[in-house]
Amino acid sequence: MQQLAAELKIDFQSEKYKDAYSRINAIVIEGEQEAHDNYITLGEMLPELKDELIRLSKMESRHKKGFEACGRNLSVKPDMPFAQKFFSGLHENFQKAAAEGQVVTCLLIQSLIIECFAIAAYNIYIPVADDFARKITEGVVKDEYSHLNFGEVWLKENFAQSKAELEAANRQNLPIVWKMLNEVENDAHVLAMEKEALVEDFMIQYGETLSNIGFTTRDIMKMSAYGLTA
């Protein structure tokens, strides 16, 4: 297997690969940790769904352990300070929304935006990953679809009273995603992950999700346009 990675002659042990991996691996580890924390917080905000949200948070912890093993397997030390800075925009917005009890905003940030980002990144990574990381990532991405589905179902059931807050939260947070993609573009390229593919996968996933929740094509076009120039 691992055909594309072999065809592209990716040298997983080169200093250049390992240097880029120290940041991308850290981003993923930090992302999984933050996802864990965010689902715990959401469980406090939605007490009737607490058990399910705790179950999701435990999956995120497992993902984090899996990606830590991927870094160790390549003898890479993840650059965690870089990753914390990378996530600070979405982190702060989630904390602010949680403090104000804005559960719709919290769900948009974690269960739609961050999960779609994860699904795009993991799907693009799998064909170009080393054998060890590919197996781990294949298991993880299946879970991420179920996390996205959780947010989708809740927001669909509560669409009428959530619509305005979703539009505002999208406007505030989507530009941050484009900024994050720009920041990671060069390192992703070293791992044979192209920014254009990441953007395409993210937008397909995110647009499909907004449609399932109840937004019209017209709404989705407007919402997708925010921050494209970031």
Among the residue ranges 24-32, 47-55, 75-83, 222-230, the one whose residues contact ligand Y39 (CB under 6 A): 24-32
Does residue number 28 form part of the binding site for ligand Y39 (CB under 6 A)?
Answer: yes
Does residue number 26 form part of the binding site for ligand Y39 (CB under 6 A)?
Answer: no
Instruction: Give the residue with the Cβ less far from ligand Y39, 85 or 221.
Output: 85
Shortest distance in whole angstroms from residue 20 CB to ligand Y39: 10
Shortest distance in whole angstroms from residue 163 CB to ligand Y39: 24
Binding-site string for ligand Y39 from residue 178 to residue 207, where x marks contact by CB under 6 A and - marks none: ------x---x----x----x---------
Residue 1 token pair = 């297997």
Q: How far apart are CA 224 and CA 195, in angstroms?
A: 17
Shortest distance in whole angstroms from residue 28 CB to ligand Y39: 5
Shortest distance in whole angstroms from residue 75 CB to ligand Y39: 20
Give me the numbers of helices (H) and strands (E) for the chain, helices first please.
10, 0
Q: How far apart are CA 28 and CA 140, in angstroms?
A: 11
Number of residues that bind ligand Y39 (CB under 6 A): 19
216 three-class SS: coil
